[in-house]
């Protein structure tokens, strides 16, 4: 991947590529740890970072390594089925943090609530097929992952009195037909008054967070209790913004612009999972200089700037977020202008071996956002310290996962 216009960012991207390939290219059906091979952070455990941030890059550069990582996920299905039964759910609930397949989260509510992991894994299985054209993974083990995660979502959700499906309960056992009904009835909140999507139901009605009274040199979790944080409009890391990146076709351009502006005001980026997604979306809606700043922040995480125990997989996978790569059947789409002062971004696709350069357009001028959170070296929080609430990315990735299954199977197909 080549960046014209910022040699230092180019170096950071190459360093990120090195970390991803070092940690992921020879996993050989073992987990890719959250910190890769860079340090002791997270104790070698694997998280959703693998499928969400690392594998998209490996699919284009080293597809066999991506397939191996997904086959490792399949190998821990027995433990994941046991975990689902423990939670009173059907299908398989993959562990939030693990090495051997058992749930290792020390913070039980977060480990239990982090079900979006399962949708991200299913999304990675589908993306691998679309990117590489290789159907053997899906035939060998991918379909089983898709079926078991869809079973989980359907058992976790419920239809309300109006037939709208919510991810907070239990539904019926007629799997294929239930998948179709659930996928088409997913409730995605929208605030008509503000013209934005709440990241969880009622979020935009919460009280405002007192940012002037907050110490920017410390993470929010180090200076406020969960009780204070969960009832205020403050966001630890990109959530709705990440949903727009991953499920771009579910939002209009106007919705994307309004959502980015709204959440830019209240996102503190206390996780390295945040800046790379914000860079992508800021570039898409026209905040090119801000996108450049976020690309730099993501690169700083790659270099370990402020991250205890080494850079994590999200920062190391900065190259995957530095350019919008969207895959559709039989076509490749790139809709992201180079951010800020960059002149062009070019890269070689490992699968198709095609070199693509993206010229820098004129800044669209939508920079009317208030000053963001005071710049600082962001110490990455424990991944367990996540908000115990159903988030926007949960709903949308679950909806896409269930829709995908509904297309793959017929109503009369038997399941084991």
Q: Is residue 207 assigned to a domain?
A: yes
Q: Are 251 and 240 in contact (CB under 8 A)?
A: no
Domain count across the chain? 1
- Strand, helix or coil at 4? strand
pLDDT of residue 145: 97
DSSP symbol at 1: -
Q: Is residue 294 assigned to a domain?
A: yes
Q: pLDDT tens, 129-172?
A: 998 999 999 999 999 999 999 999 989 988 899 999 888 743 32
C-alpha to C-alpha distances, 31 to 34, 68, 134, nearest whole angstrom? 9, 9, 21
Q: pLDDT tens, 176-229?
A: 345 677 778 888 889 999 999 998 888 999 999 998 888 877 888 888 887 888
Name the residue range of residue 17's domain: 2-408
Per-position DSSP letters for 325-378, written without gaps between them: -EEETTEEE---PPPTT--EEEEE-TTT--EEEEEPPPP---------SPP---
Q: Is residue 114 assigned to a domain?
A: yes
Question: 202-211, 216-225, 306-315, 352-361: which has the minimum mean pLDDT?
Answer: 352-361
- Maximum distance among all alpha carbons in the chain? 59
Q: Is residue 415 assigned to a domain?
A: no
Q: Is residue 414 assigned to a domain?
A: no
Q: Has residue 101 got a pLDDT over 90?
A: yes
Q: Is residue 26 assigned to a domain?
A: yes
Which residue numbers are catalytic? 175
Residue 263: CATH number of its domain: 1.50.10.10
pLDDT of residue 383: 28
Rounded mean pLDDT of 318-328?
A: 46
Q: Has residue 391 got a pLDDT over 70?
A: no
Q: Is 44 exposed, middle or buried (0-12, 13-18, 19+ CB in 10 A)?
A: middle
Q: Is residue 256 assigned to a domain?
A: yes
Q: Has residue 286 got a pLDDT over 80?
A: yes
């Amino acid at each position: 991947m080549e960046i014209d216009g910022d040699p230092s960012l180019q170096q950071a991207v190459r360093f990120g590529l090195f970390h991803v390939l070092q940690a992921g290219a020879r996993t050989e059906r073992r987990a890719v740890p959250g910190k890769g091979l860079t340090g002791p952070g997270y104790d070698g455990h694997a998280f959703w970072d693998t499928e969400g941030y690392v594998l998209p890059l490996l699919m284009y550069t080293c597809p066999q390594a991506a397939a191996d990582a997904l086959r490792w996920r399949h190998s821990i299905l027995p433990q994941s089925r046991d975990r689902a039964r423990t939670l009173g759910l059907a299908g398989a609930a993959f562990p939030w943090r693990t090495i051997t397949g058992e749930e290792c989260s020390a913070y039980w509510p977060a480990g239990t609530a982090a079900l979006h992991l399962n949708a991200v894994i299913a999304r990675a299985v589908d993306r691998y097929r679309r990117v590489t054209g290789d159907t053997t993974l899906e035939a060998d083990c991918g379909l089983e992952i898709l079926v078991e995660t869809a079973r989980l979502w359907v058992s976790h959700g419920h239809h309300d009195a109006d037939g709208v499906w919510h991810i907070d309960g239990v539904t019926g056992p007629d799997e294929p037909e239930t998948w179709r009904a659930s996928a088409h009835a997913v409730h995605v909140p929208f605030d008509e008054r503000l013209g934005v999507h709440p990241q969880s139901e009622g979020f935009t009605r919460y009280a405002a967070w007192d940012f002037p009274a907050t110490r920017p040199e410390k993470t929010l979790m180090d200076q406020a209790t969960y009780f204070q944080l969960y009832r205020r409009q403050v966001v630890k890391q990109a959530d709705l913004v990440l949903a727009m990146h991953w499920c771009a076709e579910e939002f209009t351009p106007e919705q994307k612009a309004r959502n980015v502006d709204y959440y830019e005001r209240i996102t503190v980026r206390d996780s390295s999972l945040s800046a790379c997604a914000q860079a992508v979306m800021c570039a898409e809606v026209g905040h090119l200089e801000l996108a450049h700043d976020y690309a730099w922040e993501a690169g700083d995480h790659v270099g370990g700037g402020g991250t205890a125990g080494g850079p994590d997989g999200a920062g190391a996978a900065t190259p995957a977020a530095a350019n919008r790569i969207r895959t559709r059947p039989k076509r490749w789409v790139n809709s992201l202008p180079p951010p800020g002062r960059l002149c062009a971004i070019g890269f070689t696709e490992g699968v198709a071996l095609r070199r693509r350069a993206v010229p820098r357009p004129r800044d669209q001028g939508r920079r009317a956002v208030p000053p963001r959170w005071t710049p600082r070296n962001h110490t990455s929080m424990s991944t367990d310290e996540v908000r115990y609430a159903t988030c926007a990315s949960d709903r949308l990735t679950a909806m896409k996962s269930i829709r995908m299954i509904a297309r793959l199977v017929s109503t009369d197909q038997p399941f084991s």
